[in-house]
Amino acid sequence: MEEVPYHLLCCIASLVIGGFLGLTYSYNRYLKPYVERCIDRWALLSAILGGVLFSLPLPYGINYPLSLFLLGVPFGMRPGYGRIELITGVSIAILGYLIRGLIGR
Amino acid sequence: MELYNLKYVMDALAYSLYAFLVGGLLLGLHRKIVARIQGRPGPPILQYILHTLKFYFKEITFPITAGNPLYLLIALMSITVWMSALYLGVVFNTSLLILMGLYVLQKIVEHGCGLSSGSPYGKLGGVRSVFSAAAEVPLFTVMGIIYLLTKSLIIEDIIRYQEIHGPIIFQLPFAAFAFFVLLLSKAPNSPFAIVKDKSIVSGYLTEHFGILESLIMIADGIAWFVLLWIFLAVFIGPLVVSDPLMTLLGMVVLTSLISLICALTPLLTPNHSVMIQILISALALVDLLHRIFMG
């Protein structure tokens, strides 16, 4: 019997809730339907925090849902917005994960 | 004892939520990839889940042409079918035959959904869902081929077989291809998606809206999760399904591949779609007979 992956469920639910917030925020903040190369400072801050949190060893692995919640904000933003922010956040997360793996060895 | 029962109920609900969220995100990713390939921005990846929630809270009325109680119950039947498939297939790893039976029930859902609405578009979608049963014919032969190799149709046994002999996809590439075509036929905007062709508005779903459409969308999200999981479990095995994170990765890769095909191929006419699927069934049958007679 397959066990319920509760930890993954928390992570995905956090990503979706973060995405809802990002979408609501971007619809309230911006009126133009599709704009590229526009950096939102709050989304960027959220993405950077999410990226950093991803590789911080917090108890009960709570860093992953928190990180995905914060990364979810630029991820869920309306089309065109939040791309650079999301790429920055994910890059920081991957870099942090690799560095943590190297230090762990 | 009662606490244990409560835990089982919680686990079942949690797994359903997990399957819906993953399936919904993957269907959103599918739409996004198709849009990007076609040079459009596309909706956010969360759009499928947002739509489901939006419809859930919308007001519901019954069309004057609707045939109740089928019109109402068919949405509940859809969600029952796919939640049963989730528990029997993904959670308990039971027989592929039961899953095939549930898949056949899905055809009844699609047909009933279209006919109960009374709309001509819904009816046409319902009739096309009967044609599209051709997509399930290769499934019979694929199961025969898998049985010849593994001597079992229980998913747990098939996974155990792959632990020893490696992924079945390398031993039965044509069976994997035939099953992949079945996956493709379930994907939105696929060349075989004749039941939801835009020329008949939304096919069998045309007259189902509000909470009923939301329930069908939840069922479709779970269906996508279950079908991808079965493909990964039956053809790639423990290499992917033993770790939930690897399973997710496998699902993302499969969805991306299917999206690429959907974006680059036109929708076939119903007769061409059926002809191609019957051709694949015939080839799979030849493969099965070859294995039976040649050992």
Mutation choice for A interface testing from B20, B34, B38, B46 by most A CBs within 10 A: B46
How close B61 comes to chain A (CA, Å)? Answer: 28
Query: Across the interface, do A1 and B41 touch by the CB < 8 Å criterion?
Result: no
C-alpha dihedral over A67, A70, A75, A77, to 10 degrees? 170
Please count the residues of chain A.
105
How close B255 comes to chain A (CA, Å)? Answer: 17
* DSSP string for chain B: -HHHHHHHHHHHHHHHHHHHHHHHHHHHHHHHHHHHHTT-----TTHHHHHHHHHHTS-----TT--TTHHHHHHHHHHHHHHHHIIIIIIT--BHHHHHHHHHHHHHHHHHHHHHH--HHHHHHHHHHHHGGGGGHHHHHHHHHHHHHHS--BHHHHHHHHHHH--HHHH-HHHHHHHHHHHHHHSTT-TT-GGG-GGGTTGGGTT--THHHHHHHHHHHHHHHHHHHHHHHHHTTHHHHTSHHHHHHHHHHHHHHHHHHHHHSPPPPHHHHHHHHHHHHHHHHHHHHHHHHH-
The pLDDT of residue B129 is 77
pLDDT digits (tens), chain B, 295 positions: 566 778 888 888 899 999 999 999 999 999 999 999 988 888 889 999 999 999 888 888 777 777 778 888 888 888 999 999 998 888 888 888 888 888 888 888 888 877 787 778 877 777 777 777 776 777 888 888 899 889 888 999 999 999 999 899 998 888 899 889 888 888 888 888 777 776 777 777 777 778 888 998 999 999 999 999 999 999 998 888 888 899 999 999 999 999 999 999 888 888 888 888 888 888 888 888 888 887 6
- Residue pairs between chains A and B whose CB atoms are closer than 8 Å: 54
Whether A4 contacts A45, CB under 8 Å: no
Chain B within 8 Å of A21 (Cβ-Cβ)? no
Mutation choice for B interface testing from A1, A3, A4, A16 by most B CBs within 10 A: A4
Mutation choice for A interface testing from B7, B9, B16, B18 by most A CBs within 10 A: B18
A29-83 confidence digits (pLDDT tens): 888 777 777 788 898 999 999 989 988 888 888 889 999 999 999 998 888 888 8
Q: Which residues of B touch A16 (CB under 8 A)?
A: 21, 25, 46, 49
How close A56 comes to chain B (CA, Å)? Answer: 19
How close B92 comes to chain A (CA, Å)? Answer: 5
Whether B109 contacts B81, CB under 8 Å: yes
Nearest to B18 among A9, A34, A79 (CB): A9
Residue matched to tokens 């959103």: B28
Query: Across the interface, do B14 and A6 touch by the CB < 8 Å criterion?
Result: yes
Domain boundaries, chain A: 1-13+43-105
Whether B20 contacts B226, CB under 8 Å: no
